[in-house]
């Protein structure tokens, strides 16, 4: 009985290596995009000359255990270097090179970056950070990676699935994300009134141009509200179903993907919905991969690829090619082992592809053939065929520079990634992951208490650990109910008390600026930020060539209250919150209005 | 100040830069030069060919490299060079009517015909004394060696290197590509001269390359 339960538990929390590999690729892609998007606001959010000086960050946001490597300098160039380092780590994660280490580096740098500007953190940032954290406990590089291609001991894995503390933690994280997000939605708008979808779609600051399409479904809003709520609350629990687990997983993946696509279509939530979609990739059942394998490779001809076994860079190259073109049925052989292909290879300075039936191919033709057989890069083959002469010329260029390429590729080392021969380490990592997963559930339970208005206190060591490792989580999007009041900012440029120009401050589609404006519109939360923002605007406006002459800046907000469903008319209210003298020295502060 | 990604212009710039680099690399590459697209390794010497008894001097003790070769001579060279006994028989010598058992090259012709390396003409005629062209000679030599199943485009690539490649008969292209690939063809000034008669010197050249290859790689390839 116990054994059966244990087996069922193991099956439920097992994840496929291939699913984990595509999850890794998706995660790295998201990280890459996230960093590129942040780069645009580098000086605004990550330098002392921007909105958040290091002193402000430490004064306003730091709690015990908080740390950030990005606080070592307020200079843009240093920040840029850190960004480049992080982009490199993301690139290595993408190709799966020294995967565990670069996952750790990516997570540490992301946490550091997030701590540098905590005020602009979004839900997506939190999910990304947690996913990277759990990724450190997962075998993400067993497939489609440089690590797998250059594995010194490519022992066949005993199963296509892995069960570990890491897989348990990741599965629980997905469940917690949705279930606690639902549990935090305690407002009547999600229950008695069923108007949450209506209110969410009226938050103009975050809705996309597609949102009005959803507004056409007004009569279905109550049902949609219930569907969203119960889908979040109950849907993910089916991942734990001991019966027909694969079918249940597919159902959950489909419904949650649909939910996130709708989120992405209707709201500017940054990368939040896309990160959630990437997370679902890790849950893809093995049966899908097995079916794909059958349908993709059954009809493909088997072939041998002969390479120069005395050329180390060539060997690495063909192993990488087989891995990344996904050609598991290719037989890689050193040409030196064959009395036929060895002379041919030397005569033509080329690798040789010999299908089981058909003509042999050399140089770019061989690469074109490999691409044709690839289940995902096949579309490149016609391009190469079209530019065959150029491709052959490039091939020869590469072939003639093998010593230089060898030098360049020395960092790509053959090494063993098999963790099967380190059982103690595996058990230790699993146990740590299980304990941390338990703590993650505890943190989510704690967020329920906070939502109820209680203020639970953690002991100092726990608080320190939570902050230092970024373990805190609270999935409070649209909770306890969606905002019913939107605030759009604007400013007056004034000279000697006379209005020279008026300007609305639009940050539509820029979720970090939207988040920033939430703090600005409620200056009582962090009063220092309003002053910084006003000064920042002064500097930016003074730089603009077509700005009218001004020496004063006045910030205001237009508050729009969303009327209840079936009511008409929005209530507007303009509120002046700050006035800044743009010619004053830093020490002379502006005033609240 | 740090608006690094003005996407449209930087994207266009990157594309142009890549295009420029590709063109630069390609223009410097040997693909656009007159260098041969392949480089066979060094051959053996004529002395070694004679020592291996693949060819022998004529009755006067001289080699006479300018003398043309007959089909019977070619058959003899092929039987001396390749281990044809190990290959399966596909034809019967009975189909040949103009080569009698007492003919000096009967055994050699029997071997090459029965192994399908050479064939007779219509009405069972072999014409043993008929002179062969270079295209025939090298193609048959390649046939005995083993013709590589190169892709058509690869064959074109290899033969395009020769300025008179249009003169090569269609039936011989694949075999000549193999012969060229192995260095069997003495193509001075990048000319194969497929219609010219094959000389003993031409054959000795092919044999020297074959011998060089055999010495370098496994002698028991069975090719």
- With beta carbons less than 8 A apart as the criterion, state whether A370 and A305 touch: yes
Please give the DSSP secondary-structure letter assigned to residue A301: P
A40–B5 CB contact, under 8 Å? yes
Which SS3 state, helix, strand or coil, does residue B187 take? coil
Tell me: pLDDT of A364 over 60. Answer: yes
Of A40, A358, A362, the CB nearest to B154: A362
A226 in contact with B, Cβ within 8 Å: no
Q: When comparing pLDDT for B38 and B73, which is higher?
A: B73
For residue B3, the distance in angstroms to the closest alpha carbon of chain A comes to 5
A158 in contact with B, Cβ within 8 Å: no
Give me the pLDDT at residue B20, please. 55
Q: What whole-number distance in Å separates Cα of residue A39 and Cα of residue A512?
A: 12
- With beta carbons less than 8 A apart as the criterion, state whether A28 and A93 touch: yes
Residues of A with CB below 8 A from B19's CB? none
The domain ranges of chain A are 294-408, 485-592
> B174 phi and psi, to 5 degrees?
-60, -45
Query: Cis link prior to A416 (omega < 30° from 0)?
Result: no
Q: Give the Cβ contact number of residue B26 at 10 Å.
A: 19
- Average pLDDT (A382-386) is 93
- Reported as a pLDDT band with limits 50, 70 and 90, residue B43 is confident
Write the CB contacts of A89 (distance below 8 Å, at least 6 apart in sequence): A102, A105, A106, A109
pLDDT one-digit tens code per residue, A514-531: 889 888 877 677 777 888
What whole-number percentage of chain A has pLDDT above 90?
64
- Average pLDDT (A61-90) is 95
Work out whether strand A303-307 and strand A331-334 pair parallel, antiparallel, or are unpaired: parallel
A539 in contact with B, Cβ within 8 Å: no
Give me the pLDDT at residue A582, please. 87
A339–B29 CB contact, under 8 Å? no
pLDDT one-digit tens code per residue, B162-193: 999 999 999 999 999 999 999 999 999 999 99
Give me the pLDDT at residue A1, please. 75
- Nearest chain A residue to B180 by CA distance is A347
Q: What whole-number distance in Å separates Cα of residue A362 and Cα of residue A369?
A: 10
Side by side, which strands form the sheet with A361-362? A331-334, A303-307, A352-355, A361-362
- With beta carbons less than 8 A apart as the criterion, state whether A346 and B41 touch: yes
**A 28-57 residues with CB < 8 A to B:** 36, 39-40, 42-43
Q: What whole-number distance in Å separates Cα of residue A62 and Cα of residue A79?
A: 19
Complex prediction ipTM = 0.72
* Closest CA relative to residue A292, chosen from A380, A160, A174, A383: A160
- Reported as a pLDDT band with limits 50, 70 and 90, residue B28 is very low
Give me the pLDDT at residue A299, please. 79
Q: Which of B8, B18, B29 to mutate to test the interface with A (most CBs of A within 10 A)?
A: B29
Q: When comparing pLDDT for A392 and A527, which is higher?
A: A392
A400 in contact with B, Cβ within 8 Å: yes
Say which residue the tokens 């704690």 belong to: A446
Length of chain A: 593
B37–A348 CB contact, under 8 Å? yes
Q: Which of A341, A348, A405, A536 to mutate to test the interface with B (most CBs of B within 10 A)?
A: A348
Give me the pLDDT at residue A298, please. 81
Residues of B with CB below 8 A from A39's CB? 2, 4-5
- Reported as a pLDDT band with limits 50, 70 and 90, residue A592 is very low
Tell me: pLDDT of B23 over 70. Answer: no
B5–A39 CB contact, under 8 Å? yes
Give me the pLDDT at residue A578, please. 87
B39–A349 CB contact, under 8 Å? yes
Q: What whole-number distance in Å separates Cα of residue B31 and Cα of residue B37?
A: 8
pLDDT one-digit tens code per residue, A305-347: 999 999 999 999 999 999 999 998 899 999 999 888 998 998 8
Give me the pLDDT at residue A25, please. 98
pLDDT one-digit tens code per residue, B97-127: 899 999 999 999 999 999 999 988 888 899 9
Q: Of A217-226, A415-424, B132-141, which range is least confident?
A: A415-424
Q: Which of B154, B173, B178 to mutate to test the interface with A (most CBs of A within 10 A)?
A: B154
Q: Of A140-154, A373-387, B1-15, B86-100, which range is least confident?
A: B1-15
- With beta carbons less than 8 A apart as the criterion, state whether A368 and A385 touch: yes
Tell me: pLDDT of B31 over 70. Answer: no
The domain ranges of chain B are 40-52+133-217, 70-130
Chain B interface, Cβ < 8 Å to A: 1-5, 22, 25-26, 28-32, 37-41, 146, 148-154, 157, 181-183, 213, 216-218, 221, 223
Residues of A with CB below 8 A from B26's CB? 390, 393-394, 397
Tell me: pLDDT of B210 over 70. Answer: yes
Give me the pLDDT at residue B10, please. 53
Give me the pLDDT at residue B2, please. 42
- Nearest chain B residue to A360 by CA distance is B150
- With beta carbons less than 8 A apart as the criterion, state whether B110 and B101 touch: no
A361 in contact with B, Cβ within 8 Å: yes
Q: What whole-number distance in Å separates Cα of residue A171 and Cα of residue A178?
A: 11
Residues of A with CB below 8 A from B31's CB? 389-390, 392-393, 396
Q: What whole-number distance in Å separates Cα of residue A277 and Cα of residue A518?
A: 27
A400–B182 CB contact, under 8 Å? no
pLDDT one-digit tens code per residue, A274-313: 999 999 999 999 999 999 988 888 878 889 999 999 999 9
pLDDT one-digit tens code per residue, A476-518: 999 999 999 888 888 999 888 888 898 888 888 888 998 898 8
A370 CB-side CA count, 13 A: 28
Q: Give the Cβ contact number of residue A546 at 10 Å.
A: 5
Distance of CA A146 to the CA centre of its chain: 21
Length of chain B: 223
Tell me: pLDDT of A238 over 70. Answer: yes
Q: Count of A–B CB contacts within 8 Å? A: 88
* Closest CA relative to residue A59, chosen from A532, A576, A551, A541: A532
A217 in contact with B, Cβ within 8 Å: no
- Average pLDDT (B86-93) is 84
């Amino acid at each position: 009985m116990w054994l059966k339960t244990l087996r069922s538990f193991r099956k439920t929390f097992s994840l496929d290596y291939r699913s984990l590999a595509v999850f890794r690729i998706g995660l790295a892609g998201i990280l890459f995009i996230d960093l590129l998007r942040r780069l645009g606001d580098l000086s605004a959010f990550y330098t002392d000359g921007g909105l958040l000086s290091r002193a402000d960050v430490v004064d306003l946001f730091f709690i015990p255990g908080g740390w950030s490597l990005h606080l070592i300098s307020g200079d843009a160039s240093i920040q840029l270097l850190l960004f480049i380092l992080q982009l490199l780590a993301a690139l290595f994660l993408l190709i799966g090179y020294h995967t565990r280490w670069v996952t750790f580096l990516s997570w540490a740098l992301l946490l550091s970056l997030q701590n540098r500007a905590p005020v602009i953190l979004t839900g997506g940032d939190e999910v990304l950070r947690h996913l990277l954290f759990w990724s450190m406990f997962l075998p993400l590089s067993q497939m489609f990676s440089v690590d797998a291609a250059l594995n010194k001991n490519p022992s066949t894995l005993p199963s296509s699935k892995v069960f570990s503390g890491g897989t348990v933690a990741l599965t629980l994280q997905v469940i917690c994300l949705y279930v606690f997000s639902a549990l935090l939605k305690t407002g009547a708008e999600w229950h008695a009134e069923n108007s949450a979808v209506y209110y969410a779609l009226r938050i103009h600051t975050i809705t996309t141009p597609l949102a009005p399409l959803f507004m056409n479904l007004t009569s279905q809003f109550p049902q949609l509200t219930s569907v969203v709520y119960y889908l979040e609350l109950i849907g993910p629990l089916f991942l734990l179903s001991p019966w027909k687990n694969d079918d249940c997983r597919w159902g959950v993946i489909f419904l949650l993907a649909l939910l996130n696509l709708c989120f992405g279509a209707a709201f500017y939530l940054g990368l939040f919905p896309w990160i959630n979609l990437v997370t679902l990739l890790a849950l893809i059942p093995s049966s899908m991969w097995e079916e794909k394998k059958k349908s993709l490779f059954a009809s493909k001809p088997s072939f041998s690829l002969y390479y120069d076994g005395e050329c180390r860079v060539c060997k690495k190259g063909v192993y990488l090619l087989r891995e990344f073109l996904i050609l598991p049925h290719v037989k890689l052989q050193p040409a030196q082992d064959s009395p036929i292909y060895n002379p041919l290879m030397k005569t033509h300075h080329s690798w040789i592809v010999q299908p089981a039936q058909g003509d042999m191919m050399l140089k770019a033709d061989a690469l074109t053939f490999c691409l044709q057989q690839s289940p995902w890069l096949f579309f490149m083959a016609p391009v190469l065929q079209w530019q065959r002469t150029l491709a052959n010329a490039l091939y020869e260029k590469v072939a003639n520079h093998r010593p230089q390429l060898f030098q360049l590729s020395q960092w790509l080392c053959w090494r063993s990634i098999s963790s099967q021969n380190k059982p103690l380490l595996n058990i230790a990592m699993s146990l740590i992951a299980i304990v941390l997963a338990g703590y993650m559930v505890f943190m989510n339970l704690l967020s329920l208490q906070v939502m109820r208005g209680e203020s639970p206190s953690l002991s100092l060591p726990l608080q320190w650990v939570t902050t230092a490792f970024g373990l805190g989580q609270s999935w409070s999007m649209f909770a306890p109910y969606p905002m019913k009041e939107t605030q759009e900012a604007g400013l007056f440029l004034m000279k000697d008390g006379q209005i020279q120009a008026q300007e609305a401050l639009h940050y539509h589609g820029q979720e970090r600026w939207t988040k920033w404006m939430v703090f600005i519109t409620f200056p009582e939360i962090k009063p220092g930020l309003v002053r910084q923002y006003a000064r920042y605007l002064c500097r930016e406006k003074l730089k603009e060539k077509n700005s009218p002459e001004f020496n004063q800046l006045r910030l205001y907000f237009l508050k729009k209250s969303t009327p209840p469903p079936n009511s008409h008319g929005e209530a507007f209210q303009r509120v002046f919150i700050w006035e800044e003298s743009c010619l004053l020295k830093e020490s002379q502060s502006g005033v609240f209005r | 100040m740090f608006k690094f990604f003005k996407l449209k212009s930087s994207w266009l710039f990157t594309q142009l830069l890549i295009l420029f680099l590709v063109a630069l690399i390609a223009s410097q590459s040997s693909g656009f030069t007159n260098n041969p697209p392949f480089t066979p390794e060094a051959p053996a010497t004529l002395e070694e060919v004679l020592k291996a008894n693949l060819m022998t001097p004529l009755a006067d003790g001289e080699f006479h490299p300018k003398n043309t070769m007959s089909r019977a001579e070619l058959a003899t060279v092929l039987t001396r060079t390749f281990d044809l006994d190990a290959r399966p028989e596909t034809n019967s010598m009975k189909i040949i009517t103009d080569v009698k058992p007492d003919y000096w090259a009967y055994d050699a012709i029997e071997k090459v015909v029965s192994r399908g390396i050479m064939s007779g003409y219509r009405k069972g005629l072999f014409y043993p004394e008929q002179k062969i062209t270079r295209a025939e000679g090298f193609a048959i030599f390649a046939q005995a060696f083993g013709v590589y199943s190169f892709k058509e485009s690869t064959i074109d690539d290899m033969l395009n290197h020769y300025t008179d490649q249009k003169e090569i008969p269609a039936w011989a292209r694949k075999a000549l590509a193999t012969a060229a690939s192995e260095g069997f063809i003495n193509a001075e000034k990048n000319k194969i001269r497929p219609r010219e008669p094959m000389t003993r010197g031409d054959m000795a050249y092919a044999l020297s390359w074959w011998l060089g290859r055999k010495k370098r790689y496994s002698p028991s390839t069975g090719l």
